[in-house]
Amino acid sequence: MGRRIIISGGGTGGHIFPAIAIANALKRLAPDTELLFVGANGRMEMDKVPAAGYAIVGLDIQGINRKSWWKNLTLPFKLYKSITKAKQIVRDFKPDVAVGVGGYASGPLLHTAAQLGVPCLIQEQNSYAGITNKRLANQVAKICVAFDGMERFFPKGKILFTGNPIRRESVNVRNKRFEAIELLSLSPNKKTILLTGGSLGARTLNACMLIGLDKLAAADIQLVWQCGEYYYDELKQAIGNRYDDRVRLKAFLHRMDLAYAAADVIIARAGAGTIAELCAVGKPVILVPSPNVAEDHQTKNAQALVDKEAALMVRDVEAPDKLIGTALDLLNNRAICDTLKTNIKQLAVLDADEVIAREVLKLAEQKRVSK
């Protein structure tokens, strides 16, 4: 009989893609594994997980709204309702292990699973641990991390350095530049910037590119611009057809491998999943951390790379004035590009998904032996 594993969490691509990567690794290592995802109703995972071929159940849960306190008034009721539903899910599915990847649903599900005697593992993607994972730390058996120094948040004996799971198909860029140039209709003779604002897009990055297009055009630079579906129509209208020969505006990039392969310099937010992919790709990177995240963890993620001379960082508030100039300077400085490429590649962890999956299977085996 196959092992039964629950994977819980989501909210953004930074949580969902690692979760799916772990699920895929579990199926590779133990094909008879039964998997169930638990997410938050109305969030990305409710679409992305079924698209990856896995079943998912939704909890009616939300995070703390830091901008509008009155929107938090229903939170205790939603939390109680989610814990009640989580108990039913755990009792019905009877998992051997519960895995949490962060996000709204992760807290109620893992807390409930631990209370019901299910071994739990959490995967903390960031260099600054999230509130949910910090609260769960004493209830779980293993804590998989991707940055050094995480013992300041978690019991040292539970920590296992694994790196962050990545979408393997997205970072396989070797020998794909010609294919990328062809598919994206780029010139092979021009330098290329890839700007990616993550799965939802990034307002600051989009605004910086919009005001910087003339500078990029004057420098004969071409741009692959992943702006996010929410911003696409507005930007398409603002740009018109003035830059058709050098700007490829995309709501979403379905072939990230080709976008990465085409790039000479990459501009991105500093989510942990994005950073894990960028390390594997090994291109010069400028990180613009989002200020709209808990505990400013993206700045801490970015600083961890800057300290190792593996990336450049431009703060969000400074980006309108500095980002385009920083990108142009980097494109024209081969020595710095070479240093960044060498150092960021050394931080790549390519098999984090399988390392974590093996830990999950180990916990499942220990549970069955102890019965």
Lowest-confidence pick of 73-77, 141-145, 247-251, 295-299: 73-77
Measuring CA to CA, which residue among 138, 127, 249, 119 is closest to residue 194? Answer: 249
Measuring CA to CA, which residue among 284, 274, 342 is closest to residue 311? Answer: 284
**How far is Cα of residue 110 from the mean position of the Cα atoms in its chain?**
20
At 72 the pLDDT is 59
Type of residue numbered 136: L
How many beta carbons lie within 10 A of that of residue 246, not counting itself? 17
Measuring CA to CA, which residue among 90, 91, 126, 69 is closest to residue 8? Answer: 90
Find out whether 13 is annotated in a ligand binding site: yes
Yes or no: domain 169-345 corresponds to CATH 3.40.50.2000: yes
pLDDT value at 367 more than 80: no
Find out whether 126 is annotated in a ligand binding site: yes
The Cα 36–Cα 57 span in angstroms is 8
Measuring CA to CA, which residue among 246, 248, 247, 264 is closest to residue 330? Answer: 264
- Does residue 91 contact residue 83 with C-beta atoms inside 8 Å? no
Find out whether 274 is annotated in a ligand binding site: no
pLDDT value at 91 more than 60: yes
Q: What percent of the chain has pLDDT over 70?
A: 95
CATH number of 4-166+351-370: 3.40.50.2000
Find out whether 237 is annotated in a ligand binding site: no
- Does residue 262 contact residue 181 with C-beta atoms inside 8 Å? yes
pLDDT value at 154 more than 90: yes
In degrees and rounded to multiples of 5, residue 286 shows phi and psi of -115, 120
Please state, rounded to an integer, the average pLDDT across all residues of the chain: 91
Find out whether 68 is annotated in a ligand binding site: no
Q: Give the 3-state secondary structure of residue 334.
A: helix
In degrees and rounded to multiples of 5, residue 293 shows phi and psi of -130, 160
Q: Three-state secondary structure along 340-362?
A: HHHHHHCCCCCCHHHHHHHHHHH
Q: The pTM is what?
A: 0.84
Tell me the per-residue pLDDT of 204-249, one tens digit each, with 9 for 90 and over: 999 999 999 999 999 999 999 999 988 999 999 999 888 888 999 9
Tell me the per-residue pLDDT of 11-25, one tens digit each, with 9 for 90 and over: 776 788 889 999 999
Find out whether 325 is annotated in a ligand binding site: no
Tell me the per-residue pLDDT of 284-310, one tens digit each, with 9 for 90 and over: 999 999 988 777 889 999 999 999 999
Angle formed at CA 301 by CA 54 and CA 197, multiple of 5 degrees: 60
The Cα 320–Cα 119 span in angstroms is 47
At 14 the pLDDT is 74
**How far is Cα of residue 29 from the mean position of the Cα atoms in its chain?**
23
Find out whether 14 is annotated in a ligand binding site: yes
Domain ranges in the chain are 4-166+351-370, 169-345
Q: Do the two domains 4-166+351-370 and 169-345 of this chain adopt the same fold?
A: yes
